[in-house]
């Protein structure tokens, strides 16, 4: 995997929290930043998928794909968050047709 170098300025309080994270996780600065960034992006993808599903913009299968999760893991997330997503038959039919292919 190719890596790209980036640079960022952090407020002092955020950097102090990063230092605490580095100590507690026994990670160097670069590894800490990569781990936190990956976790943040994963969370962002899940939230974006949940919002799109709840707003009826995407089907359940598409939302799971957007979140980068299996349908089963995504269904657990939807249930845990209390998301109401069945608002029309449009996406349900689409999901069933895709599942039957």
Q: pTM higher than 0.85 for the full model?
A: no
- Does residue 53 form part of some domain? yes
- Does residue 44 form part of some domain? yes
- Does residue 23 form part of some domain? yes
Q: Which domain holds residue 30?
A: 12-100
Q: What is the dihedral of CA 96, 97, 100, 101, to 10 degrees?
A: -150
Q: List, for residues 4-58, the tens digit of each pLDDT value.
A: 998 999 999 999 999 999 999 999 999 999 999 999 999 999 999 999 999 889 9
- Does residue 80 form part of some domain? yes
- Does residue 60 form part of some domain? yes
- Does residue 69 form part of some domain? yes
Task: Domain count for the chain, please give it.
Answer: 1
What does the alpha-carbon distance between residue 42 and residue 47 come to, in Å, rounded to a whole number?
Answer: 9
Cα angle value 92/94/100 (rounded, 5°): 100
Q: List, for residues 10-23, the tens digit of each pLDDT value.
A: 999 999 999 999 99
Q: List, for residues 62-101, the tens digit of each pLDDT value.
A: 999 999 999 999 999 999 998 877 766 666 777 677 777 7
């Amino acid at each position: 995997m190719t890596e790209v170098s980036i640079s960022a300025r952090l407020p002092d309080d955020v950097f102090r929290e990063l230092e605490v994270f580095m100590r507690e996780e026994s990670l160097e600065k670069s590894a800490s930043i990569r781990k936190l960034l990956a976790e943040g992006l994963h969370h962002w993808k899940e939230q974006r998928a949940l919002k799109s599903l709840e707003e009826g913009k995407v089907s359940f299968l598409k939302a799971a794909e957007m979140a980068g999760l299996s349908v089963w893991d995504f269904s657990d997330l939807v249930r845990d968050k209390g998301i109401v997503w069945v608002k029309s038959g449009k996406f349900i039919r689409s999901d069933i047709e895709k599942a039957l292919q």
